[in-house]
Amino acid sequence: MTPSPTLDELLDTMHVVSIPMRVRFRGVLHREIAVFAGPSGWGEFSPFLEYDAPEASRWLAAAIDAAWGSWPVAVRSAVPVNATVPAVAASEVAAVLARYDGCRTAKVKVAERGQSLPDDVARVAAVRDTMGSGAFVRVDANGGWSVDDALSAIEALAPYVLEYVEQPCATVDELVELRKRLARNGIGVRIAADESIRKAEDPLRVARLGAADVAVVKVAPLGGVSSARRIATESGLPTVVSSAIDSSVGIAAGVALAAALPELPFACGLGTLELMAGDVVSDSLVPQAGSINVSRPTPQPALLERHRAPRERQQWWRDRVTTCFSHLARG
């Protein structure tokens, strides 16, 4: 069991930073992140601002696990990762992909609010054209389609040879229905589940109901490396370890999980740091030759100061940590 720090220990070692994004992602132009120092190293607490205490408290548990707990032994020294292409115009795709050294897999955001299916098709086509026929292309709808819309979209995107479609619909029941309809239509595209695992009270329901071919597992919303590893194992599905928009402190936890899994059949979604125009460490965990090496970098005081969030945001995060810590204590 992970040792539990006091609230004062958390707050005394906490730094809150605001790092600019290279492009708007999830409507965010600056990513606010809190990091803590503990006896095991540093942990990151960075749930998105709209998450309430029950959901955000799992991210705090993951930060405590990182800074006060222990991680499993790695069975590989590097983790292959994908490039991430936000919902940008097709003309911007090549510039985004150029930031990802050696990556031969790309995850493309689709179903963005305010955009259309032709926008998605043009973006995916640009990715395929830029990366070539030998690359792997996956798309992520973040639950943005109905079953009917997902079927139409996948039919339109399938000619670009998709590795899988991540969270095309919001609910597990919709994913089950979509997989049935894809099979009836003879469309052999895998379905991956993300939100249906990390936001669910029962993250294993996806596997029990046959709602997905691939499990996308994220350390922070699942409460830490050990918890996420257990879910990956018990699901019995091929696993892709992914991240949110994390600093290298958060990315290190995802890399630790991916490095410890006995099998890693797909590139992982841990290259998201390239979407930010800054970091809290000097030796950032970014792809090199398509992979991220297993390591645990330490934040630099100068970078923590450079990206320090305004005073009022510092207090907002202190209040948030206090609320989430209380929620964990009651849990």
The crossing angle, in degrees rounded to 10, of helices 53-68 and 225-235 is 110
Long-range Cβ contact pairs of 59-62 (< 8 A, separation 24 or more)? 59/220, 59/221, 59/324, 60/321, 60/324, 60/325, 60/328, 61/223, 61/224, 61/227, 61/328, 62/219, 62/220, 62/221, 62/222, 62/223, 62/224, 62/225, 62/227, 62/253
- Distance between CA atoms of residues 81 and 106, nearest Å: 9
Residue 127 to residue 221: CA distance in whole angstroms: 29
Contact (CB, 8 A) for 165 and 154: yes
218 is known as an active-site residue: yes
52 in a labelled binding site? no
Q: Catalytic annotation on 199? A: no
Active-site choice (107, 180, 199, 218): 218
d(CA 54, CA 251): 23
Question: Distance (Å, rounded) from C-alpha 271 to C-alpha 280?
Answer: 16
How many whole angstroms separate alpha carbon 21 and alpha carbon 84? 13
Q: Residue 28 and residue 143: Cα distance in Å, rounded?
A: 19
Task: Report whether 101 belongs to an annotated binding site.
Answer: no
Q: Does residue 263 have a known ligand-binding role?
A: no
Distance CA 95, CA 99 (A): 7
Angle at 187 between CA 181 and CA 189, to 5 degrees: 100
Neighbour-count burial of 113, counting CB atoms closer than 10 A to its CB (0-12 exposed, 13-18 middle, 19+ buried): exposed
Q: 34 near 317, Cβ under 8 Å?
A: yes
Annotated binding site for Mg(2+): 140, 166, 194
Which residues define the annotated binding site? 140, 166, 194
Catalytic residue list:
109, 218
